[in-house]
Amino acid sequence: MRSGGLRHKVVAACLTALLLILPAAATALGAAIDEAQAYSKSQAALGKQVGNHRFLDNDGAELRLSRFRGKPLLVSMIFTSCYHICPVITRQLAGVVDVAREALGEDSFEVITVGFDTQADTPERMRSFARGRGIADPRWHFLSADEATIGAFSEDLGFSFAPSPRGFDHLTQVTVIDADGRVFQQVYGDAFTPPALVEPLKELVLGTGEGVAGFTGWVKGVRFLCTVYDPTSGRYSFDYSIFIALIIGVLSLGGVALFVIRAWREHRPPTRSA
């Protein structure tokens, strides 16, 4: 009987504890972000000028965002104590960055990963996070900042995050910023394909060739049209078939023109002398 009574007391104590925990858990879950609102906020940031915020690099030295003006910039927001989504996002981004550099040039754009958990994401933790993902790209910077900076920077990017029982809930978002510091594109998810990110970068790096005079503009226009994605290899390459088709077209038009000229000469009326 004592044993049975003890079991009842233990069960009752567990139920009481559970009843005390559930409201707190529900409150915490209520603080998580709303997906529809987060997406709407993210899209509303398109075209917005990003401020010249102050960060700390892996060595604790100050780094201003203006340091990246003049080239496209990719921005990823993570928290280092995340053991699932943030490492997955970073590994995925690393693979796409490799494809983009191969297609557009090693020095064509830069990348920053910013830790938004200001209590934990120190320069040391960011350095350790980068090392743990095997990232040693000199044009990829892992940055820290204070709470006010993270708040203002997140607003500029349209990035949403909130504390949750898992640490933080946040939008899985990579932001593409143009050379003038404006938000150009948002890429979502942790399994996006290379074109989702490379195509907007391609547009910013190579342009369409419109409005650019001379040989440089012509070269950029050709590269824009002929640098294409091959889904079988997962890489970008220069498509020479466009040139082949162009040459065939020119030769065909030349052949038609030659036939017309020859036919005209053969059937034109003879010239009468006075």
Token digits for 158? 């349209």
Mean pLDDT of the 195-211 span: 81
95 vs 3, which has greater pLDDT?
95
Check: pTM over 0.75? Answer yes or no: no
227 vs 49, which has greater pLDDT?
49
Q: Is the pLDDT assigned to residue 245 strictly greater than 70? A: no
What does the alpha-carbon distance between residue 74 and residue 113 come to, in Å, rounded to a whole number?
8
Lowest mean pLDDT among 31-40, 61-70, 198-207, 248-257: 248-257
Strand-pair category, 110-115 with 140-143: parallel
Residue 185, pLDDT score: 97
Which one, of 173, 140, 142, lies nearest residue 159 by Cα?
173
What does the alpha-carbon distance between residue 90 and residue 25 come to, in Å, rounded to a whole number?
29
Residue 271, pLDDT score: 59
Residue 248, pLDDT score: 61
Mean pLDDT of the 97-107 span: 93
Which one, of 85, 56, 107, lies nearest residue 188 by Cα?
85
Q: Is the pLDDT assigned to residue 26 strictly greater than 60? A: no
Strand-pair category, 140-143 with 62-64: unpaired
